[in-house]
Amino acid sequence: MSDLLTTDVLTALIAGGILAGVPLLFASLGEMVAERAGVLNIGLEGYMLIGAYFGFLVAYHGGNTFLGFLGGAAAGAAVSLIMVALCVQMGLDQIVVGIAITLVAEGATALIFDANFAESRPTLGATGRIDIPGLSQLPVVGGADTSDGSIFSQPPIVYIGLIIVALTAWTLRRTHWGLNIRAAGDKPSALDAAGVSVVATRAWATIFCGAMAGLGGAYLSITAAGLFEDFITQGRGFIAIVLAMLARGKALWVLIGSFVFGISLSISDVLQIAGVDISTDLVFMLPFVTVIVVLILFGRRSYLPAALALPYVRGAR
């Protein structure tokens, strides 16, 4: 067990937690905002996959990871336009379209990747990191001289992510956009009556969701894996939906949830490395089991926007 306490292992634990947590953080942050505006993006997995593929593609051909992240975000946003057009605009069922997006994304990325890269299987190098001066030299939380860094030595995109979380929280609470988003999810007719376009509000929230999920996917392929692989998201989109709903509309809780989940995956690795025999089935179940137990013991009405997943039609009876 003494192995557990070495600084290298603890650093790796944090690094692993961040690697696993950041994709979830981006995706569930986007989902949370869209849900507050009343749009349930069941197709999050699809956005992430597309973001992962195009992020990888841009990073690979452009030779620049930052461009890759932008490319992933743009691709995710582009796919979310399907949702905007079909669901927000025309009022088609969000769950049907969301699932269709996931299926199309799974099929399309596998198909194109297979056609282009199955033989060459390119990988990307390590994503460049920035070391926070001073702090990055600290043991465990510093991580300047390790493979995947630690809290104070991460690729800029991770810090940008934290800034986005803060900005999102502030925007939701303090700005007109935020107010509109909250109203669009709780009572779109009121927003409409106040002269604000429900469609536009929901559309922007959905595009934000697409961009964030695409960014999460791009992080997954560019930084977390350094390559693309069919179905690389492995169901993370659905986990992100769960996290977004558990966050009850609060950006901070998205942050906490994502990293708790990331760390719990990372802990299972570290325990195994330390020789503690533990079933990964069990460990993977743990965060969910914990949440369920908490819900059963302290279960109270969970907050979800009243108009979630309902199309808004002006004056409908």
Ligand X SMILES: Nc1ncnc2c1ncn2[C@@H]1O[C@H](COP(=O)(O)OP(=O)(O)OP(=O)(O)O)[C@@H](O)[C@H]1O
User: Is the Cβ of residue 48 or residue 73 nearer to another protein in the bound state?
Assistant: 48
Q: Does 317 bind ligand X (CB under 6 A)?
A: yes
Q: Sign of torsion, CA 74 80 86 87? A: negative
Residue 174 as a binder of another protein (CB under 8 A): the answer is: yes
Ranges within 22-51 binding another protein (CB under 8 A): 23, 40
Residues 273 to 292 in contact with another protein, rule: CB under 8 A: 273-275, 277, 279-282, 284-285, 288-289, 291-292
Q: Which residues contact 175 (CB under 8 A, 6 or more apart)?
A: none
The reply on whether position 132 binds another protein by CB under 8 A is: no
Q: Which residues contact 191 (CB under 8 A, 6 or more apart)?
A: 180, 183, 184, 198, 201
- Assess 189 for contact with ligand X (CB under 6 A): no
Partner interacting with residue 32 (select from another protein, ligand X, none; CB below 5-8 Å by kind): none
First to last CA, the chain: 65
**Hey, CA dihedral for 209, 212, 216, 217, is it positive or negative?**
positive
Q: How far is the CB of 194 from ligand X (least distance, A)?
A: 20
Q: Is 128 in the site for another protein (CB under 8 A)?
A: no
* Residue 192 makes contact with ligand X by CB under 6 A: no
The residues, any chain, with a CB within 8 Å of residue 1's CB and separated by 6 or more, are 274, 276
Whether 71 contacts 54, CB under 8 Å: yes
Could you tell me which stretch among 54-62, 124-132, 152-160, 208-216 binds another protein (CB under 8 A)? 124-132
**232, 113 in Cβ contact below 8 A?**
no
Backbone phi, then psi, for 37, in 5-degree steps?
A: -85, 0
**Residue 120 token pair:** 């060459």
Kindly identify the residues of this chain, within the stretch 287-316, that bind ligand X according to CB under 6 A.
315
Three-state DSSP class for residue 153:
strand
Q: Which of 230, 253, 256, 260 binds another protein (CB under 8 A)?
A: 230
Number of residues that bind ligand X (CB under 6 A): 2
Is position 70 an interface residue for another protein (rule: CB under 8 A)? no
Residue 114 or 162 having the CB closest to another protein: 114
Q: Which of left, alpha, beta for 208 (phi over 0: left; psi -120 to 50: alpha)?
A: alpha
**Choice between 133 and 275, CB closer to another protein:** 275
In the region spanning residues 156 to 175, those forming contacts with ligand X, defined by CB under 6 A, are none
**Which residue is at the shortest CB distance from ligand X?**
317
